[in-house]
Each structure stands twice: as C-alpha cells, then as structure tokens.
Amino acid sequence: METDTRAGRWLAVWIDRRGRLVSMPLTPGKAAFQATWAGALVGVGTAGAVIGAPRSRVPALSGRRLQQWVEEWARIDTR
C-alpha cells in the first residue's frame, strides 16, 4: 500500500465481515495454483497413508508369527 497518497485520492481497501482490514484477495491464477498444490499434497498424503498403514503392522505381525512358530516347534519337537 502506498503511504504517500494525497488527500482526496481513491484507495482500494479490503475488509472482512467485521470491518477489519485484510490483505488483497488472491488473483484467479494464484488461487488455482494454490488449489492445485493443495490437491496434489492431499493426494500424496492419502496415498502415503494407504500404502504406509499396512506396512506399519508388518513387524508386529511377523514377530507374532515367529513366536507362534517357536511355540509350535517346542510342542512338536521330540528330543
């Protein structure tokens, strides 16, 4: 915003519903750019959650299966 504006000159300002000054709204191009990036990040995050959630359980399940195998082997072993 220019600080050396003369009296009587028109000046565009933006206010919210409560009458407080706010920054200038985004241009359509900037809004589209931000929406595109937000959508891409949401897509990557969702894909990461879908792929990562099952993989996070693999170590616990593998340990459980190994423990079951050890218990069964101890029961069957006929030394």
Rounded average pLDDT over 7-34: 92
Segment 15-33 shows an average pLDDT of 95
Question: How far is it, in rounded angstroms, from Cα 40 to Cα 43?
Answer: 5
pTM above 0.85, yes or no: no
Q: Cα 68–74–79 angle (5° rounding)?
A: 160
Q: Which residue has the tokens 């706010």?
A: 22
> How high is the pLDDT of residue 62?
87
pLDDT at 5 over 80: no
Q: Mean pLDDT, to the nearest integer, of 17-27?
A: 94
CA angle centred on 56, ends 49 and 38, rounded to 5°: 15
For the chain, strand residue ranges (E) read 14-15, 21-22
Percent of the chain with pLDDT over 70: 94
Element of type H or E holding 3: none
